[in-house]
Structure 1
Amino acid sequence: MKTYQGNKIFRVGKIVNTQGIKGELRIVPVTDFPDRFQRGEEFIVEDAKGQQFVTIVESARPHKNFILLKFKDMNSINDVEKWKGGELFVTEENLAPLEEGEYYFHQLIGLQVYTEDQVHVGTLDDILQTGANDVYVVKRPGQKDLLLPVIDECIREVNLDKNQIIVYIMPGLE
């Protein structure tokens, strides 16, 4: 888990290139909330060497599959060139609020997975974003990973207080 000044931070974008000569950066969003990229928003920028600093968005606009961001006090390509290959993060307090029954990946990864009969299946190790629905990757001791589609038929309950997910393993998934 990455931190900034002792606070957990979460990746929301990858800086892939510069755009023009006036200090804009091309960002590939890695968030379900691309609307967070707007004027006045605060981000932690980390370069490829791990150096971090906090900055404020001066302007933002969509461009093809990217978001073009310009940060305050960065007015030329020379000011932003060093950030190519870097990443954008937000602190936990700046994460977008979620609806009831929605969770951030970091809240789910590491939870224990059980069947409805309370048989321990394994630990949620990863979440794949496939397009139609996400897929939970459950690491099972001594067995191949179990891939569970995140659909109501399979995922019966998520209980963060008990650190567990209750699932139904449909025939053919094992």
Structure 2
Amino acid sequence: MSERRVTLAAVTGAHGVTGEVRLKIFADDLGRYQRFNDGALTLKSLRIIPKGAIARFVEVGDRNAAEALRGTALTVPRSELPPLEAGEYYHFDLIGLPAEADDGTALGHVVAVENFGAGDVLEIERSGGKRFMVPMNADAVPAWDDLRLVVNAAFVE
């Protein structure tokens, strides 16, 4: 089984005539990565701009080639991401996890991680499609791992 891929940015279009592309960035430090999409794209330069970034890839030499990349997700293997400290998590690691109450009752699965300014909030979808939200803190979510997320029953709607 191949390693899980993580999308760090997406190409939104060409920039200029020399092969640069505009990027929408989903990561804090895109510049630390040099190779994307299993080595198909090698980062040559990166400029951060207010609405994302402008990048040049070794393999892209003109505007037509840059425009052909529109919509391309730039991915890296999960193992290339910085290691996490205890209690830290990547949002994409939580999305899709089965959720259960601390009494063992199945609740559904995590469909989104939002942040409205006061910390992360998990959106959990039940099997019938109804959704509810819980804060991602030690009181509401006392435990999680690669296999499941445990929610304090007092926070379940």
Shift of 1:59: 0.3
The two structures have a TM-score, normalised by structure 2, of 0.81
Cα RMSD of the aligned pairs, angstroms, is 2.6
**Corresponding residue for 2:142?**
156
Residue 66 of structure 1 and its aligned partner are, at CA, apart by 0.8
* 1:90-129 matches, cutoff 5 A: 90-116=76-102, 118-129=103-114
**Preserved CA contact (<8 Å) 2:95 2:113:** no
Shift in alpha-carbon separation, 1:121–1:19, aligned structure 2, 3 A: same
Query: 2:6 maps to which residue?
Result: 10
Counterpart of 1:146 (choices 120, 128, 132) is: 132
Distance apart, 1:71 and its partner CA = 0.4
Report if the CA contact (8 A) 1:58-1:69 is conserved: yes
The alignment status of 1:36 with 2:30, answered yes or no, reads yes
Verify: 1:84 aligned to 2:80, yes or no: no
Indicate if the aligned counterparts of 2:98 and 2:109 stay in contact, CA closer than 8 A.
yes
Residue deviations 1:105-139, cap 9 Å, x none?
343234332333x2414132312323422222222
Q: Distance in 2 between matches of 1:65 and 1:17?
A: 13
| Partner Cα distance (1:65, 1:20) in 2 | 16
Post-superposition, which runs of at least 4 consecutive aligned residues in structure 1 deviate over 3 A? Answer: none
Q: Assess if the C-alpha contact under 8 Å between 2:13 and 2:66 holds in 1.
A: no
Return the letter of the residue paired with 1:41: Q
Residues 37-76 of structure 1 correspond to what in structure 2 (within 5 A)?
37-38=31-32, 41-44=34-37, 54-76=40-62
Task: For 2:67 and 2:98, locate their aligned partners in 1 and report how far apart those are by CA, in whole Å.
Answer: 43
Alpha-carbon distance between aligned partners in 2 of 1:82 and 1:143, rounded to the nearest angstrom: 38
- Consecutive unaligned residues of structure 1, counting only runs of 5 or more, are 46-52
**Quick one: distance in 2 between partners of 1:85 and 1:141?**
32
Q: Distance in 1 between matches of 2:14 and 2:5?
A: 24
Q: Structure 1 residues 142, 17: closer, same or farther in 2, change over 3 A?
A: closer
Structure 2: distance between partners of 1:111 and 1:74: 38
SS class of match (1:37): helix
Using the alignment, how far apart are the partners of 1:70 and 1:143 within structure 2? 43
- Aligned partners of 2:72 and 2:128: how far apart in 1? 37
* TM-score under structure 1 length normalisation: 0.75
Aligned length: 156
For structure 2, list consecutive stretches of 5 or more residues without a partner in the other structure: none
